[in-house]
Amino acid sequence: MLTNSVLAQTGMVKGTVKGANNRPLAGVSIKLENPKRDLGKTGDDGRFVVSVPTNGVMVFSYQGYGTVKQPVTAGKTEYSISMESKAQELEETVVVGYQQRKRETLTGSVVTISGKEIQDIPSGNFVDLLQGKVAGMNIQNNTGSPGMRGTIAVRGISNFNVSGSGDNTFLTPTSPLFVIDGVPIDDNSGYEYGFETAGPGVSPISMIPPEDIEDITVLKDAQATALYGSRGAYGVILVRTKRGNSKIPLVQYQGQFFMSAVPQLRKVIGGRDERMVRVEQILMNDTTLAAAIRRINDSPMLADSLNPYYNNSTDWQSYFYRNTYNQTHNVNISGGERVFNYKVNMNYYDENGIIANTGFKRYTVQSNMQYEPNDRFRMMANVNANLAQNQMGSGNAAMQTGVGKSVNTTSLYPAPSLFSGSMGPYLHLMSMIRIRQEIM
């Protein structure tokens, strides 16, 4: 019954499709608008004969011509369609640096990390939070001191050049190029940051709070070199900070209190047990028994077992390591839309390292403004003020001098005074050990 009703409302119509200069067009596509289906095409002479429902709409389309819609009138069986040519020009494309492209058309290796993925974890340097999120990128904080610049390898260690000599020897940095809101920052050079020394310094990247990051894009392959030249030889990390995107001004606050706990430390021996181990080592490895006994007797801390001055059982690790309580606070004020938007972000970060006398404090005020009345004019302004304070402890975080001698420390030496000297017990302890080693 439904089929008979449809057939009763369908009729044959014919006609001619002509284009410029009244010339017939061959191969014009004819479709039914609703429901959508193909009806046929015009022949070589531009004529067509199709079956369409009454009160339907025929759609004529042809490459280089504008689409024409022709309603079907009841009782009318012949139509004359005129199509007008439509010029289609390709827009000019200009590539400057790294342009915005659809991911479907991107052939390079690009990894994008949303700022929401790293904003819940407090960190003195947001780069530390990228570990494990980008395949092939290895990040290490060599000292463990908060806010310090570690090593970043996107394509592995590809440079084995060594600079300096002795305690000042260091491997030439191979960190990627950072581009912050379109401004390149070379993280591999600059004496003011302590990069070209045996130990790392504070990175300018540490001045960017994770709460103010919109997204991070990592370029790993030859595309980075093609866009940024030799500076992108070790990869490129693009960082885009937040901008205002609300008609109503927004005030956001985020605060965190967190604790840094000391990991499981080495098990040590002390007091009598250490004395017996050292005596046994001398007896078993010296040239003769007489020489071994002479060496033991010449060492007061081994020979004088009854002297309480040399009978300590001190766990020196407890003097250097501690659990710490830290905090960070962030206030963001933003607003505006595409034509005009603004943002002011204020951040305070305070973290004490688990090694005594190490820590990092950050005070930042980052603001931006953008005025874009149309697609051809854009004015942007960025004003940032940053201040960082870091504590290096005994100095080993900056220079590796004395690290190799730390294996000679012993628990038999007397405990240092906790109240002597302005530097505290930590430097006093190291100096005491070194002096006694030289005497021995």
Mean pLDDT (whole number) for 218-230: 77
Q: Which of 35-49, 190-204, 325-339 has the lowest mean pLDDT?
A: 190-204
pLDDT tens figures, 135-177: 878 887 766 678 777 778 887 665 666 666 665 666 666 778 8
Model pLDDT for residues 256-279, shown as the tens digit of each residue? 999 988 888 877 777 778 888 888
CATH H superfamily, domain 107-246: TonB-dependent receptor, plug domain (2.170.130.10)
In this prediction, residue 439 carries a pLDDT of 33
Share of the chain above pLDDT 70, in %: 72
pLDDT at 310 > cutoff 90: no
Does 230 or 424 have the greater pLDDT score?
A: 230
Domain boundaries, the chain: 2-82, 107-246
How far is Cα 226 from Cα 219, in angstroms, rounded to an integer? Answer: 11
Which pLDDT band, with edges at 50, 70 and 90, does 371 fall under?
Answer: very high
**93-151: per-residue pLDDT in tens?**
433 344 555 554 455 677 888 888 888 888 888 888 888 888 878 887 766 678 777 77
What pLDDT does 346 receive?
94
The whole-chain average pLDDT of the chain stands at 75
**What is the structure's pLDDT at 172?**
64
The pLDDT score that the predictor gives to residue 342 is 92
C-alpha span between 35 and 26 (Å, rounded): 25
pLDDT of residue 191: 38
What digits encode the pLDDT tens for the residues 167-217?
566 666 677 888 888 888 776 665 344 444 444 567 778 888 888 998 888
Confidence of residue 226 (pLDDT cuts 50, 70, 90): confident
Angle between helices 272-285 and 289-297 (to 10 degrees): 150
Domain 2-82 in CATH 1.10.15.40? no
Least confident of 72-81, 106-115, 411-420: 411-420
Instruction: List residues bridging with 68 in a β-sheet.
Output: 60
Question: What was the pLDDT predicted at 431?
Answer: 30
Task: Count other Cβ atoms within 10 Å, centred on residue 381.
Answer: 10
pTM of the model: 0.59
pLDDT given at position 348: 94
Of residues 358 and 89, more confidently modeled:
358
pLDDT band at 367 (very low <50, low <70, confident <90, very high): very high
Q: What is the pLDDT of residue 73?
A: 83
Q: What is the mean pLDDT of residues 355-379?
A: 88
Q: Residue 333: its pLDDT value, please? A: 93
Buried b (16+ CB within 10 A) or exposed e, 226-240: ebbeebbbbbbbbbb
Q: Give the pLDDT of residue 312.
A: 67
Instruction: State the average pLDDT over residues 389-401.
Output: 59
In which band, very low, low, confident or very high, does the pLDDT at 328 lie, cut at 50, 70 and 90? very high
Sign of the C-alpha dihedral computed for residues 404, 410, 413 and 418 taken in this order: positive
Closest CA to 229 of 195, 193, 186: 186
Range from 23-32, 108-117, 212-221, 362-371 carrying the lowest mean pLDDT: 108-117
Q: Is the per-residue pLDDT at 421 higher than 70?
A: no
List the beta bridge partners of residue 114: 215
